[in-house]
Structure 1
Amino acid sequence: MSTVLLTGGAGGLGRSITQNLLKNGHTVVATLEPGGHRLDPQPNLITHELDLTDEAGCRALVRKVADEHGSIDAAILLVGGFAMGSIAETDFAAIEKMFRLNFQTTYQVVRPVFEQMTQQAGGGRFVMVGARPALTPSAGKHMVAYALSKSLVIQLSEMLNAEGKDKNIVSTALVPSVIDTPTNRKAMPDADPASWVKPEEIAELIDFVTFGSGKMLRESILKVYNNA
């Protein structure tokens, strides 16, 4: 049985990923935002309330998980936020907010987990979530802070692959178009959700690249666009 550290497990995407991992027999250690959404108790599901901008707290949790389970076989990092705004509309406070929500919450978990994976037999797998505007300037110009912060997540994934190559540590940044969540349907009522990506499909893709035959892939970026 593999141990997975999952951030954002109670979100619109996270719930599908949590259920898929549990269904496939993995132990899931999920972080929850203090005072935020909860997950119903289930076998092999362990939850911890944690502010992911707390660096010491992140390190302590990673050590606790490694001590109690022996290894961290995969880390799936979903926590993040979104904001619109062109350059003219985006001050540096907005940049800092998106940096904290999208990059800091990722990096502060990645760093101690990477250290743990270098010390355990078998290495490990990272999955994090990028964004198409981070790859497409014409889209990113309308959401500058969001696109810049997600570009750092993608760069981090590439750096993990470079440093982890000889240690059997692989990182994948999934770059979805639009995920079919209730929040996105409410925000875009005139769009056709049939062209979007379903959370269940992303969950299956994550299992494929972490534990399935796709674990041999060393692709930093997987574009998950469907027809959107």
Structure 2
Amino acid sequence: MSHIIISGASGNLGKEVTEKLLDSGHELYVTTGSHYDGGFDQLSGVKTFSIDLLEAQGSSVFVDHVIANAGSIQAGIFLVGGYTYGDILSTSDEELEKMIHLNFFTAFHLVKPLIAHFKKQGSGGKLIFIGAKAAVEKNSGDASFTYTLSKSLLLKMADMINAEYQSAGITATMIAPEIIDTPVNRKAMPDADFTKWVSSADIAENIASIIQHPEAHERIIRLYNKD
């Protein structure tokens, strides 16, 4: 059994990941958003927290609190994020800052104290990010400039973590889906073939596999639409 922090657990993907890892016997410490419906409150293996992950100090205090209660953390999974459409010419400073804060800083504010904890406990740890196809493939992403750039920052952070800390057993993996099959995406693209999209269950299965096999490490797991 691992003790795991999950951010964004109350979203569509977060619910799938939380349920999958709970079924695998892990102890979960999850952050929830403003639309949380209380669905995890009766589950003994899940402890929920309402945290502003855009605020660094509060995020660090949250990690310290979880460590004090759990004793040690083995993994962090970062699911908070958002999407916006628009190319570089239509992008404002405000839109760019919003996407970087939402997609990058919400993870970064947890990654820092988690790496410090992993180093102190001396047994390594896993960090798992949700990226995007556009962030890992060349000649892709101009139509969603701010989203792609913010996800690219996650990929670069993961690479730097691996370069600096992999020898200490601390690894970072980015799961890079194309289009995730969620109600929000179906509403935005009602004429698309949803059967070709990446399911939340597939992403959750890959995350569970990463946790289950600590000796294995992939830098990027690509989950692209079916042809």
* Short-chain TM bin: over 0.9
Once the two structures are TM-superposed, the CA of residue 127 in structure 1 deviates from its matched residue by 0.5
Once the two structures are TM-superposed, the CA of residue 92 in structure 1 deviates from its matched residue by 1.2
Q: How many residues align?
A: 225
Kept in 2, the 8 Å contact 1:154–1:220? The answer is no
Residue aligning to 2:21: 21
Residue aligning to 1:30: 30
Q: Secondary structure at the match of 1:85?
A: coil
Report the Cα distance in structure 1 between the residues aligned to 2:131 and 2:64, rounded to whole angstroms: 26
Using a 3 Å threshold, how does the CA distance of structure 1 residues 56 and 4 change in structure 2: closer, same or farther?
same
Report the Cα distance in structure 2 between the residues aligned to 1:201 and 1:132, rounded to whole angstroms: 15
Deviates more, 1:132-141 or 1:122-131: 132-141
Residue aligning to 2:222: 223
Report the Cα distance in structure 2 between the residues aligned to 1:168 and 1:226, rounded to whole angstroms: 32
Once the two structures are TM-superposed, the CA of residue 121 in structure 1 deviates from its matched residue by 3.8
Name the amino acid aligned to 2:192: A
Once the two structures are TM-superposed, the CA of residue 137 in structure 1 deviates from its matched residue by 5.0
- What fraction of aligned residue pairs are identical, expressed as a percent? 36
Q: Secondary structure at the match of 1:139?
A: coil
Once the two structures are TM-superposed, the CA of residue 116 in structure 1 deviates from its matched residue by 0.4
Residue aligning to 1:5: 5
Mapping 1:92-171, distance limit 5 Å:
92-171=93-172
Kept in 2, the 8 Å contact 1:175–1:224? The answer is yes
The list of structure 1 runs, each at least 4 consecutive aligned residues, that deviate by more than 6 angstroms after superposition, is none
Report the Cα distance in structure 1 between the residues aligned to 2:17 and 2:215, rounded to whole angstroms: 20
Q: Secondary structure at the match of 2:159?
A: helix
Q: Secondary structure at the match of 2:12?
A: coil
Cα RMSD of the aligned pairs, angstroms, is 1.3
Kept in 1, the 8 Å contact 2:210–2:217? The answer is no
Once the two structures are TM-superposed, the CA of residue 2 in structure 1 deviates from its matched residue by 1.1
Name the amino acid aligned to 2:220: I
Once the two structures are TM-superposed, the CA of residue 200 in structure 1 deviates from its matched residue by 1.0
Once the two structures are TM-superposed, the CA of residue 119 in structure 1 deviates from its matched residue by 1.0
Deviation track 1:8-67 (CA, whole Å, cap 9, x = no partner) reads: 00101000000001101001100112x332342211100000010110001101111111
Report the Cα distance in structure 2 between the residues aligned to 1:66 and 1:211, rounded to whole angstroms: 21
Deviation track 1:126-166 (CA, whole Å, cap 9, x = no partner) reads: 10011112233543110111110000001111111111212
Q: Secondary structure at the match of 1:189?
A: coil
Residue aligning to 1:197: 198
For structure 2, the residue ranges without an aligned partner over 5 or more in a row are: none
Q: Secondary structure at the match of 1:22?
A: helix
Kept in 2, the 8 Å contact 1:161–1:218? The answer is no
Using a 3 Å threshold, how does the CA distance of structure 1 residues 195 and 2 change in structure 2: closer, same or farther?
same
TM-score normalised per structure 1:
0.95
Report the Cα distance in structure 2 between the residues aligned to 1:76 and 1:157, rounded to whole angstroms: 12
For structure 1, the residue ranges without an aligned partner over 5 or more in a row are: none
Report the Cα distance in structure 2 between the residues aligned to 1:137 and 1:201, rounded to whole angstroms: 24
Q: Secondary structure at the match of 1:172?
A: strand
